Structure 1
């Protein structure tokens, strides 16, 4: 029966349970003497459906509607669910005595008695869960059999004869579709076919010509014949033993790369896996050595489990260890080196009579001595000095003919001879980084070459130091040939030296470096000790000098990967820099000394951490925590903290003040002084209600605590009732006894805003600004007439809809909009059709729904605050404080006069307790607690 569950599968989420690796299962099954192959009888149907999901499998027939009570075939997650069940039931047996891929199972044993015991153990588990087998597809106690499309036996892994015969019996394709079918069949057998991509290249070229007429040419027929001949006797693949070394052989040509992974058993090499790949357009232009490196990368990606479980020995004549080592020859080589560094890979150079074995890999074996072939690197150097600057050019040619070009810019003003010596030294240092032992170095400077060869006597003190430096570097090679050549034969290095001192330094194939100071300074400076056993670089030093790695496998991989960036120069560990050729590695004690001296020493000016770290690296030093240590030093520097820039980014997220109902929360503030008027009026006390935004304001001559108390009593309490809370600043009018006692008597909470932080009472501050702007625009002529217009400004505010509520404060207080003078001059419908009775009825109706009006306004206000909070929070730079923290306080916020040379922060203070989420009480160094709270925006942490 076949049911289309397409729609059901689309609606079902994917079960996140992976299927086992077929290659891993085949490898773990091969090599056993006794094998039993079992197939579950209608395997999926042996799993019950959840009762709630049975109806989802319904299907219609002529006899009615039916559904499955067991898991049917065709469901998206059927395979994963069955594999999950098998993995759970045979949890203890899988990988040890049996393997299972969905409903295909195999029991493996080395002896007959063990096999019987293993079968009993497996059958017992099957009886427990009621699993049934298909007798027609189950076979027991065989020496070989078919499993997952392969033939497995004690000998190893063999290609299925039916698959091979399907290709052998195939006629020559007559269409593109048939060619694609052929390549698909070959791909299924690719593990057994040596250099399959090279053999199939004519087929791939034919498939690309889709727009042209199909033509099966002689080249395709020849390749087809070779494949048939190869598959007539395919090789037997061997099963690797855990932990044993595997050998990798490489074959490359202009169009494809191939590798053979083999193992050695009793002096005989046996193939494990063949990998082959056609090169794409850009890859075909890789140099030979890069193609070989790329072949290793491709193989490592495809056979990652093998590379992780086994040491890999790459057998080749190419200097791959050098190319994938410390020498930064090209971006992709460095990237590949980092990618391969996690694996245990070593490179073995084969002798001339050895070749790459196994079919087309021409090699007789890997046993015997692997002697390295002497490789000579060629170096061309030149230095150019002029009024426009000094540049050095270095061209390095590898034994494979690959060319690497360096242009070095000199940041000091040397003479021409010194420039030539600098180029000579740079060439020696760069080629030494490759691990080369035999070099030929050529220069067009007759003076330098003859002084190095002792043909000329050196009398200049500076040149004597340079010559001594050259001799030290030459001592690091086994064989060095120094040769003078005419300028015409040194054109590339000459062009590079001119390029270095020009602005054309962005050409991709050329690496442009900088030399900040003369190379001979390294001979005169105090060199830091770099071989302390407890320093960070000790494992790297041990690996580079003695080849010793840590016992921990993961740490060993890390060290191998990291050591690509390091080398040893003059018995010192150095790291390759991007702006400088090499950086000396220093330990903890010297690092601290360097940081302090550079930051606050004679030549220090308390630079920021980024500049501090960059300056130390430009001096030629390195340690891995340089940037972090620089940040920590600057953060704890007292002078840097007291003179630090003030951040204008808010420290906390916005917390809008919300009033649950009208007249519950009021904000109060003092506005003034203004020009004195009749009655000596100079100030305005303003109160704004947080729900309706209603304003009460009154002009005062004095702003004593008693005057403010009278305003609160007569203008607010007697009119609108006793509020729950009042928000004020820390002025004496609000902290005085009359105001506090009055509020305490009525149960009114007083919430004081932080010092110099008006945002804590933001609505009152905004109301003040609105009143002030209104008065300035109203006054004409004499400024002391402002009290006459105060009521007009307040009235205009209270009858104007506010953005937050989209209603006027008047409407939210009285339930209707006020009649304004404009409606008298230009009558509206409600003034024209005015009726006392109708007005009273309408008034009562509006009072009935005033609660609904206020709820709508509250919802709009909440949405307005949400948008405002979202915009505000984008600018937040969080600063968290807690009791016990040491902090600095803005000097300006404390009312101190700040001169040009004065610190902008004072303190330090200790946080005593929190006065809310964003304000804190402080105490000074003498233990005195400051009177008022301070907002987080006026504080910053102090690091002693």
Structure 2
């Protein structure tokens, strides 16, 4: 079904929300090993229409008029609205493991083994926001696929085979219309056709106005060359900017060469320069040179060309301790080395009367196994054969680019000499040992090893590191390092210090190992007492969700206030209910709190007076079941108003707080509410109530209006009541939007999955004194409800009553 929304689209202002650049999305999603393509089911129909805007989508049929409850197609801003939704749903994943263009999504993973983790992360967001996918258009765990008209593979961006085949299968055009069809297909593949204007010049020339159509031999030649080229189109990869100076460019001044480098970079990365603010760090005054008024020649042209971009030139400044900086840079491991798994090398060499040989077995992660056998064409002793086997195995490991290697040999002599335990005295074995200890051939690797070794020394049979905090730091192994960390952190003189302080104390004690800081972090994070006494979370973990009511008495918030001093009728508690739309408060003092008493209050004060509500929002009391204890903000605000007024009206030890309840409620109902701009009395009855202050002296309306005029004015107010409520509703929405934006700036997102171990915050009576822990547990996440609500169970499988919000939970590391 198609509805013509032309007039509605003309009246609707344009949504300025930008759609992402297709070129950027394609560049970001190409070159990944494993991909998953997803498509939303009936995309725009998944978004509900605003109840106030839905009637504007009305259309006529043969029987009656209808309007859409969900967002239909063909509206002016549906694309921008849906893109805004996608950006919010995948706010944490876009650019990291997913790219989204309206309803088309591609999940990208560099390593095939971790693709399921990325899919689990993405599908969790899909389930959280109740999105629906179209299974007929989804494909998971593939190595290539179509996205926005392009073919994405791990090699790069490839042309769509169907578009290429459409041109290849075309016959030579016989009319202008056929040529227009051809040029349209060429334009769709222009990204893969270099110099297309020059190569297809004669084809485009046939479209000139005023000339008779003529398909010449040159047109046919260009057409056949185009077909031949598209038979094997190029593969596009991510840009690697770089250009060698040629010809006269070699003789440019240094400042001109630097300016040319900026110009060439901006041309090749034009889409990025146009979309982002670029910061250029340089020691040369390019900024001031390009702004000089007496520039001439090429520098003027370059300055004009660069002026269209937002480029900021920042000086690099002086770098102190350059030698130390270079040392740190060269010794720092690249990020990917953190996940490098060790390889095991087993060697064996032997010699007999028939000759000598060796066997090498290299075992790697994921079951990689490399076996190699050698036969020597020269005479060698058993020890020499063992050395030959070790050297050959080392060369094999270097060719395999092994970073972490553990070598094994059954020759105690060879292993002891290589490790330095035995001294090599045989001249032949000395040469083998020197060959084995030779630095790597690669210049960077050799420099790294040489600089690293300069900071270590052997004293006796122990390895020491020359440190800064201490002259000599003893290098210890894995078992000793665990014992040292445990003793300093939580030993007899330990005070459960932080990771950074713990690592510093280890070095001051004279010990060192390469993963000291990482191990200290792990030790402190998994310390049970540190976790139980950790600081409470003060930053919010979930975005603020404002609760809005659509009409009066649609939603009530209920809370229990007390206990108070015993007053009339043995009343100690106060049941409070507030309407979310009108802010009208109903309150009743009670002696005891029970489920039956609360039900009676609902029936008498809410249902019998205002009708059956759609929702009742309650607190985390035992009489209620709650998702978030702090979610009932409206009732909490009403409690504060009542409590403050009671305190101020009571004098001394007066316990008759029940007598003051009705005047307090009357004062509240006749006071303008800050969020709606109207009094609760007017929001309910359509007019402002008469207050005692208007009696003597009489107010203007009391002194001037007659009974008849007053009656007519009340009727007019009732006719305008809907407009008053609508204006108040919009005002409240704007106020809550501003509060939400301010609140969300402090949010630090944190979420858990089923099976995660967590600690629960101690609250209320469970909370002890100053020395008691802040957290208890651990507990296991049994169910995830969404919105930051979780159900917990003990490690024995016993379910905890109620639900717990993410604000009161933290990860537990075992």
Query: TM-score if structure 1 supplies the norm length?
Result: 0.41
Please identify the structure whose Cα radius of gyration is greater. Answer: 1
